[in-house]
Chain A
Amino acid sequence: MVETIRVNLKVNGKQYVLDIPPDERLIDTLRYRLGFTSVKEGCGRGECGSCIVLVNGLPRHSCLTLTATLDGAEILTVEGLAPEGKLHAIQVAFLETRGVQCGFCTPAFMLLTKALLDKTLDPSDEEIKQWLASAICRCGSYHYYFKAVRKAAEYLKKGKILFDEKEVRKNLYKLPLLR
């Protein structure tokens, strides 16, 4: 029988007590045990960056992290950026700058943005590039993502963190919505 380890985790603001095998990867805990599928696996080796989540506020490859080492840690995934019906300023910025293509890498880029903007709301162009180089976007949306970081910083500077999703939809499409 596989021995399990008890781990206390706070994920997206909610406390979990988990009994997990010692070799369980954080990405599997998040995706398959807890259902946070915004966390993507693209390589399992810390190269593509799609699995990046924030552990105690800092970006971490969840595919290279064992959950058992995280007792007491606080984890943020894209699902935790905003409550139901709301969107986070970073999400709004990523929508407004229109860089989303296949969307597989986008959650990781948004979390990298979060960690960077938690550190400074005035990142230099070089800093933005350096931070965003932790993940790969094969569709090639990088320039749009750089813009999204700056746009998100503007919102956050003004203290605008959460947006009403319906309002965002309305403004974004500048088009009538059916409901």
Chain B
Amino acid sequence: MSKPEYVEIVEKVFDKTRSKPTKEFKYIGKEILRWDAISKIRGEKIFVADLINLFKNPVFVYSVRTKYAHARIKKIDVSEAEKYPGVIKVLTYKDIPGINDVGYVIPDQPLLADKKVRYIGDTVALVIAESLENARDAGELVNVEYEPLEVILDPLKIVEWGGLREKEHTLIHDERGSDVVSRYKIRAGDIKKAEQEAAVVIENEYRTPMQEHAYIETEAAIAIPEPNGGVTIYAKTQCPFDTRRAVAQVLGLPFNMVRVIAPSLGGGFGGAEDVGNEIAAKAALAALVTKRPAVVLFTREESIIGHAKRHPMIARYKHMAARDGTLLGVEAEIILDTGAYASLGPFVGWRAIVHSTGPYRVKNAKIDLAVVYTNKVYAGAFRGFGNPQVSFAVERQMDLLAEELGIDPVEIRLKNALRNGDRTVHGQLLDHGVGLVEAIQKAVEAANWYEKRKLYANQKGLLRRGIGIAVMYHGNSIGAEGADFSSATIIIQRDGSIIFRTGLTDFGQGAIQGIVNIIAETLGVPPTYIKVEWPDTAATPDAGPTVASRSTVMGGNAALVAAYRLRQRLNRLASELLGCDPEKIVIDAPDVYCSDDPENKITWQELVEQSFWKGVPLQEFGYFRAPPAEWDEETGQGAPYMHYTFGAIISDVELDMETGVVRVKEAVTAYDIGRLINKTGADLHAIGGYIQGMGYALMEDLYYSPDGKVYNVSLSTYHVPTALDIPEKITPIWVEAGFRRGPYGAKGLGEPSIVAIAPSIANAVAHALGGGVQVSKDVNKIPLTPDYIYSIIKKYKLLGK
């Protein structure tokens, strides 16, 4: 099969610019202010809830949630609620015209509970009223008869160690006949032989928390009824096309009768992925029933109990190494708790197992992973998508190995790190673009690693410092989760301004600005000429979901293909006008000239105007599809992702031995992102990812009562880092090892920026504690709360020694 033209374009651009230093580009890699910054500092109406005033006579929709985390529904009586003043209608599962399901990967999640409730956020009824207050008050009158069932919060009640077999238990998903959502494995080499040959074997158990996204904008959707039974929905969603699919399914409408528009998002981090579908469907249902605009607006409490979280992990790891630190094998059993519904759990589980041995040369591996249901809030997509969990375990293991062998943590990583020409644990050949060693070396130098590591050894005081490193890799794009394609439209307007349409959303991450930079560089026009339209399923092309660190690479490639074709056409026309070879045309808008005759210019506007007269079309559609991933279900062998982003993080912490409080003082992050496309966005992302990862490491977890209620449903009880918690300095460093199928060689950064933060901090804390392998082994769960760290200090009498 011949190579598609779009792949050829991307590769051609890469080959042509491969050796060009980033600083020589005009727009790529520059500190360009994001296109929407001025609207944001003006506080303009760009978020969903800001638009409410624009719609006359709206109704408000309130979700009545279950009182039990696990129960059978005997009866739902809404008659009293419907009599409450201001109430227009109360909907239950019976009122859903289409299919009552918003499950993302598997159909296991009713929009409105019918037979059972499975977690404390399940919606049993929707109250539609003239005001949100009326709707909430009336919600109290919805009478549901429940038959409570055993609440299971511990995934070890679902499966057991030693094969992850499913145990006897009260089934949460009786309709499926099992509470194991999915299983994955890796079988590489000969793990028994590896263990026999190993000089040292390290075994330990790890636990990671259920992290909440805590985006500051809570969920919001506004639905407007349209002619012929259609509906338009403005919703906080990362993936408008997925949201459209879910809404169309619930309403029983064809896709083209549902229009989803995603304005700016006040944060997403993966969390606005499936809850976007749920809120949009609820609003759409109410709009169609009442024939009025319908508003869904979550409070913080509803947001915390009502949207997907990061999967908690429990894992047992066994690492085997030779005396010189060479990794011989990795064996592990990993359990991911997906809560009440699968959501993206199966994909998270898959990404977790792909990354479960870290960015190392591992020839022998035996890994088993199970994603299981419990009665917790459901878990789904969260920046990192399974990788932060396994990376925490793997990177703690590497430090334990180093400690046991008396090798420096940096040295053991350098010894085993993946390099160009190596194969991953899945057998995937990495023939180019592996910048891990360079990232480690640059981070080590910037952090003053060796000096500090020595300086912080054997401290005796009450305030002790520690320094730790962690490394990571992260597969670009969605891999074997599905067909990964993206598309983009660029339309040059008659005055020379440009409209850029993509179905990818912006929730602050900066990838869209990166794509703007790519278009600008390719066309030769300033980014300021380009307007980014809001993603709109009726107007922007389907670019796939805004997930998996795929925007810059996949969205960027699609835009690059479109811009490249436009540029070719414009070059040809300009060559006719200016009388030189098309290859010699320089577009540096507003100037257009031949490289050997810069004085003889025409303007960009003239070129555009001539295009109209000469019949050169100025609108172009770009498409890019990632090569299908290869994955053998039985062995975990293949080529799971098209390429990987690599990184090394070093954290320098201070530990208060009297209180167990950990403060990060300084940090260095070094990522190989192929090519730096958007410097401003990349720096912000490295720093922001660090801060969110620090929250994950030190303070963030969801706490449950035994009956499955969430204790901390507010931001004063669910702690996220504030201005007072952050390190004095976080230094981002960029490595640009290139990637032939990325736009100008770029790879993704969105998720990678959080993956290895927590282990770097935990490793630094273990360093500060001192006390050798035994003590270090106890630093095996996050968050590293003061009481937990103090319990270790006390247990081993580390203070006053």
Residues of A that sit less than 8 Å from B by CB: 31-32, 35-45, 47-48, 50, 77-79, 87, 91, 94-95, 98-107, 110, 129-130, 132-133, 136-146, 165, 169, 172-173, 175-178
Contact = CB atoms under 8 A, between A and B. Distances in A.
Interface string B496-511: 1100000000011110
A32 B215 contact: no
Given A102-B265, A169-B38, A47 B716 contact: yes
Given A42-B715, A104-B215, 16 more contacts: A31-B50, A37-B47, A38-B42, A42-B217, A47-B716, A94-B41, A100-B34, A101-B684, A102-B266, A104-B266, A130-B723, A138-B267, A140-B684, A176-B590, A177-B528, A178-B529
Nearest to A47: B715
A176 B528 contact: yes
A104 B47 contact: yes
B257 interface: no
A99 B37 CA distance: 9
Interface in B33-65: 33-34, 36-47, 49-50, 52-53
B216 A103 contact: no
8 contacts: A37-B45, A40-B216, A77-B43, A101-B684, A102-B266, A103-B508, A140-B687, A140-B689
Contacts of A173: 32-33, 526-528
Contacts of A106: 40-41, 43
Contacts, number: 185
| Residue in A31, A40, A99 with the greatest tally of chain B CB atoms within 10 Å | A40
List 4 A-B pairs, minimum CB-CB distance, nearest first.
Answer: A38-B43, A102-B508, A104-B266, A103-B40
B722 interface: yes
Q: From DSSP, what is the main secondary structure of chain B's interface residues?
A: loop
B47 A40 contact: yes
B684 A98 contact: yes
B47 to A, nearest CB: 7
Given A45-B716, A175-B526, A91 B41 contact: yes
Given A79-B43, A101-B509, A102-B265, A41 B49 contact: yes
Given A38-B42, A104-B267, A133-B723, A140 B52 contact: no
B721 to A, nearest CB: 7
Interface string B18-33: 0000000000000111
A176 B724 CA distance: 40
B43 A133 contact: no
Contacts of B721: 140
Given A98-B31, A141-B684, A143-B726, A175 B37 contact: no
A32 B529 CA distance: 34
A151 B331 CA distance: 53
A117 to B, nearest CB: 16
A176 B42 CA distance: 22
A139 B45 contact: no
A47 B712 CA distance: 13
| Residue in B53, B508, B726 with the greatest tally of chain A CB atoms within 10 Å | B508
B715 A43 contact: yes
B391 to A, nearest CB: 19
Nearest to B51: A37
Interface residues of B, number: 66
Contact of B216 (A50, A77, A94, A175): A50
A146 B52 CA distance: 33
B680 A102 contact: no
A87 B39 CA distance: 11
B690 interface: yes
A42 to B, nearest CB: 4
B549 interface: no
B671 to A, nearest CB: 16
Nearest to B527: A175
B217 A104 contact: yes
A138 B43 contact: no
Contacts of A79: 42-43
Nearest to B49: A41
B299 interface: yes
B534 to A, nearest CB: 14
Contact of A129 (B590, B716, B724): B724
Contact of B722 (A50, A104, A136): A136
Contacts of A129: 723-724
A103 B32 contact: no
A138 B729 CA distance: 17
Nearest to A112: B723
Contacts of A140: 684, 687-692, 721, 726
A47 B714 contact: yes
Contacts of B44: 37-38
A117 B613 CA distance: 56
Interface in B685-735: 687-692, 714-716, 720-724, 726, 729-730
A155 to B, nearest CB: 14
Given A172-B33, A173-B32, A176-B590, A139 B688 contact: yes
A102 B684 contact: no
B218 A42 contact: yes
A172 B34 CA distance: 10
B173 interface: no
